[in-house]
Structure 1
Amino acid sequence: MSVHVLALVCVTLVWGGTFPVLKIATVQLSGLEVTALRFVLAAVCMLPFVVRIPRRTWFDGAILGALVLVSYVLQAWGLETISSNRSAFLTSLNVLMVPFLGIVFGTKLRLRVLAAAAVACAGIGLMSWEGGANLMADVLTVLSAFAYALYVVLLSQRAEQHQPIHLASAQIVWMASLGLVWLVLSSVGTDKLDTLPSRIDTSVVYSLAYLGIVATAGMLFLQAWAQRKVSADKAALVYALEPVFAALFAWVWLAETLSQPAAIGAAMVVGAVVFSEMGGAPSAKDPATS
């Protein structure tokens, strides 16, 4: 595996802890409130790097940031009424969406990666699928997956045109700004903003710190750096490891058991990622992915 792919594995490892953390935070806050506040924290971390960001980076950062914002808000809204496992499975559908979206943007569809993506989704289904469906929450989560799939495609196309720290900073500043505007507008005529401080307890503070500083500021930078050299479809496939790491953390830290179907599903996801790396798949700079 290349160092860039390993960096994306690291990103996915950190993201594996976000589903239970989001579940904790959305007990007290709405999905939009959690998303806006995590981006504000992330933006504070990136302020030293905002100076001298080129105008084109601000433009691309606005597009990418808006897609991430929409994806995260929709995912958090869905988590208010469905389990984190179900959300993880539905979110993972972006792995299959990315190769087909790539065709629209001129990317060649690679059968190896498409087959690996299908196996990965099947594996995640074994790990995560369960009862407790909620039509609206499911739809919101699938739309979240679509927005993120579009983000992955555009990021792979545009990341190499910018300095990673500048692109990550621009995205985060835009996400924080748009998120705050969205939060204020949605709170008009309600007491949500007035009661917000009283709903932030210690567990929410820790959750927001992890989501904002580690999972957003740190990982968006690492993602922007790594996807300069990794194609969108392969990056999406690496991201399919997210529920695998989530299940691993639950097993190690929370002593949750891993059923036999879930273990088989996890092995399928890992195998799919390894399979995609075999045979010298082209990188993001190769003609097959340009």
Structure 2
Amino acid sequence: MALLLVTLVWGATFPVLKIATAQLSGVEVSALRFMLAAVCMAPFALRLPRHTWRDGGLLGALVLVSYVAQAFGLEYISSNRSAFLTSLNVLMVPLLGMAFGARPTLVMLLAAALACAGIGLMSWDGGANLLADAATVFGALAYALYVIVLSQRAARHQPRQLAAAQIVWMAGLACVWMLLDAWGTDKLQTLPSRLNAEILWGLAYLGVVATAGMLFLQAWAQRAVAADKAALIYAMEPVFAALFAWMWLAEALTLRAALGGAMVVCAVVLSEWRPAPAEVAVQS
């Protein structure tokens, strides 16, 4: 339920990002939201153990690589195509888990395939670009690795400390990325003039709720949830995103998209299914 709430909040970021990116670039939105999140988590980052900084740095770098690769791909392909390619991380998690010694069940693999097919129905619209497609798939791979590593290492740390370490690393790396992106331009000088009240409230939601709050909740919940099941729950994100886009942005949901959303929901339910234990006859 905690991870489902995380996914719900992530889905609600869709209209917020839509408004913010009308004035800010993707890297500016990322850097600003992570800086706000880092301020919120600063009290928990003051005396972190060295191993928490190490694991937090690895996890934060994986998440940031995923964001960077996805943002690059979005410069050349549609958001629908990007969403479909990004959703491949749902299938990558159980497959990559085999390399780490896990043995995914047939039911879990079927559920992952059903989730990907459902997101495909919701998102597919053509418009390929080899380089952008490859970058987006690489971003999906980075996030799949993040989910696996988080499930392996979350139990070693206090959730708030691990979330704080990740966010501080992400904020620092994102700021460096923003500075490099603005090199030789006037982007930093014009940044204050491009911020209005609506965007500032959106950034506050993205930084405080969707980043700081949800990374903490994610780190806590994945102490007890396997990586492959967590990835399937995260597959609900485009379903929630479509719902909020319909509610707030009046974007229509086609019959094909609704069918895809239903398939994702069925995949999540299927991932929770366990065969009943066989009854053992006892002879008297």
Question: TM-score, normalization: structure 2?
Answer: 0.90
Identify the residue that residue 163 of structure 1 maps to in structure 2. Answer: 158
1:26–1:80 contact (8 Å) kept in structure 2: no
Q: What does the per-residue CA deviation read over 1:223-273, in whole Å, with 9 as the maximum and x for residues that have no partner?
A: 000000111111001100001111111233334332211111111100010
Map of 1:115-264 to 2, 5 A cutoff?
A: 115-264=110-259
Q: Which amino acid aligns with 2:183?
A: V
Map of 1:42-61 to 2, 5 A cutoff?
A: 42-61=37-56
Q: Which moved more, 1:163-172 or 1:176-185?
A: 176-185
1:96–1:114 contact (8 Å) kept in structure 2: yes
Q: Which moved more, 1:215-224 or 1:186-195?
A: 186-195
Q: Which moved more, 1:30-39 or 1:135-144?
A: 135-144
Q: Aligned-pair RMSD on alpha carbons?
A: 1.9
Q: Which amino acid aligns with 1:73?
A: V
Map of 1:5-24 to 2, 5 A cutoff?
A: 6-24=1-19
Identify the residue that residue 113 of structure 1 maps to in structure 2. Answer: 108
Q: Which moved more, 1:203-212 or 1:7-16?
A: 203-212
Identify the residue that residue 28 of structure 1 maps to in structure 2. Answer: 23
> How far did residue 165 of structure 1 move?
0.3
> How far did residue 211 of structure 1 move?
1.6
Q: What does the per-residue CA deviation read over 1:61-112, in whole Å, with 9 as the maximum and x for residues that have no partner?
A: 0000011111122223333454433332221110011111112222223221
Q: Which moved more, 1:153-162 or 1:249-258?
A: 249-258
1:127–1:261 contact (8 Å) kept in structure 2: yes
Q: Which amino acid aligns with 2:155?
A: E
Distance in 2 separating the partners of 1:23 and 1:271: 28
**2:269 counterpart (274, 285, 289):** 274
Distance in 1 separating the partners of 2:83 and 2:106: 25
Distance in 2 separating the partners of 1:264 and 1:207: 30
Q: Which moved more, 1:114-123 or 1:84-93?
A: 84-93
SS of equivalent residue, structure 1 residue 17: helix
Distance in 2 separating the partners of 1:24 and 1:134: 26
- Classify 1:206/1:73 alpha carbon distance in 2 versus 1 (closer, same or farther; 3 Å): farther
Structure with greater Cα Rg? 2
Map of 1:35-114 to 2, 5 A cutoff?
A: 35-114=30-109
1:93–1:121 contact (8 Å) kept in structure 2: yes
Distance in 2 separating the partners of 1:109 and 1:93: 16
Distance in 1 separating the partners of 2:146 and 2:275: 25
Distance in 1 separating the partners of 2:76 and 2:7: 24
Q: Which amino acid aligns with 2:7?
A: T
Aligned length: 276
Distance in 2 separating the partners of 1:34 and 1:264: 32
SS of equivalent residue, structure 2 residue 23: coil
User: Structure 2: any 5+ residue segments left out of the alignment?
Assistant: 277-284
Q: Which amino acid aligns with 2:222?
A: Q
Distance in 1 separating the partners of 2:72 and 2:189: 21
Q: Which amino acid aligns with 1:109?
A: P
Distance in 2 separating the partners of 1:94 and 1:223: 17
2:15–2:248 contact (8 Å) kept in structure 1: no
> How far did residue 19 of structure 1 move?
3.0
- Classify 1:139/1:19 alpha carbon distance in 2 versus 1 (closer, same or farther; 3 Å): farther
Q: What does the per-residue CA deviation read over 1:169-225, in whole Å, with 9 as the maximum and x for residues that have no partner?
A: 000011111111222233332222222222223343233222211111111000000
1:90–1:145 contact (8 Å) kept in structure 2: yes
Distance in 2 separating the partners of 1:140 and 1:202: 33
Q: Which amino acid aligns with 1:69?
A: L
